[in-house]
Amino acid sequence: MKLGVRFFLSWIGSAILMFTLFYIWHGVFLNDFKRIQFPLVWFVMFAAGTYLILGAGIYFLFESRFTKKIRNFFIRGLICGVIAGFSLFMVATIVNISLTRHLSLQHLMIDCVWQITEQTIGTMVVVLFKIFIHDLEPQHENA
């Protein structure tokens, strides 16, 4: 797999979009940030780092041998988004990373759907860059 312009734009673009969605959901709609027990700057930096890692992971999942068997980019993107979102949801649930104190089944289901939606939207950035950006192939000179 070549790490060219397509990778870097897909990676950074998807990470920024997913982080923005995360920030709007937790910071604006749910107002969860007021429950954080340590400085908000640390939380935002850790979250940004997490989304950078997640964006790269989604790109590598999208370009993996396993998912490349799916020829349709949009279907592959949906499947990768669901896998990434559900995986992140499972990890966050298992290690009890939540900004809510009392988790109900309804809250868990909403959180799961949100994670899947957020990562699927991020994966669609990868799909769009896959379609519209083509890395230049090096020209070989005949000697």
Residue 44: pLDDT over 70: yes
Residue 108 is part of which domain span? 5-132
Number of domains in the chain: 1
pLDDT of residue 127: 96
On whether residue 143 sits in a domain, the answer given is no
Report which DSSP code applies to 39: -
- CA atoms of 78 and 82, how far apart (whole Å): 6
On whether residue 123 sits in a domain, the answer given is yes
On whether residue 42 sits in a domain, the answer given is yes
Q: How confident is residue 136, by pLDDT bands cut at 50, 70 and 90?
A: low
35 with 128: CB under 8 angstroms? no
Is the pTM higher than 0.75? The answer reads yes
10 with 125: CB under 8 angstroms? yes
93 with 108: CB under 8 angstroms? yes
The number of helices, as runs of H, and strands, as runs of E, in the chain is: 4, 0
Among residues of the chain, what percentage have pLDDT more than 70?
89
Q: Which residue has the higher pLDDT, 135 or 19?
A: 19
On whether residue 46 sits in a domain, the answer given is yes
On whether residue 138 sits in a domain, the answer given is no
On whether residue 140 sits in a domain, the answer given is no
- CA atoms of 58 and 117, how far apart (whole Å): 14
Residue 137: pLDDT over 70: no
On whether residue 73 sits in a domain, the answer given is yes
On whether residue 141 sits in a domain, the answer given is no
pLDDT of residue 76: 97
Residue 26's CB is within 10 A of a number of other CB atoms, namely 18
Q: How confident is residue 141, by pLDDT bands cut at 50, 70 and 90?
A: low
Region of 76 (left: φ > 0; alpha: ψ -120 to 50; beta: rest) is alpha
**What are 75-130's pLDDT values in tens digits?**
999 999 999 999 999 998 887 766 666 778 888 899 899 999 999 999 999 999 99
Residue 3: pLDDT over 90: no
Cβ contacts of residue 40 below 8 Å, gap of 6+?
A: 33
Give the residue-averaged pLDDT of 36-62. 93
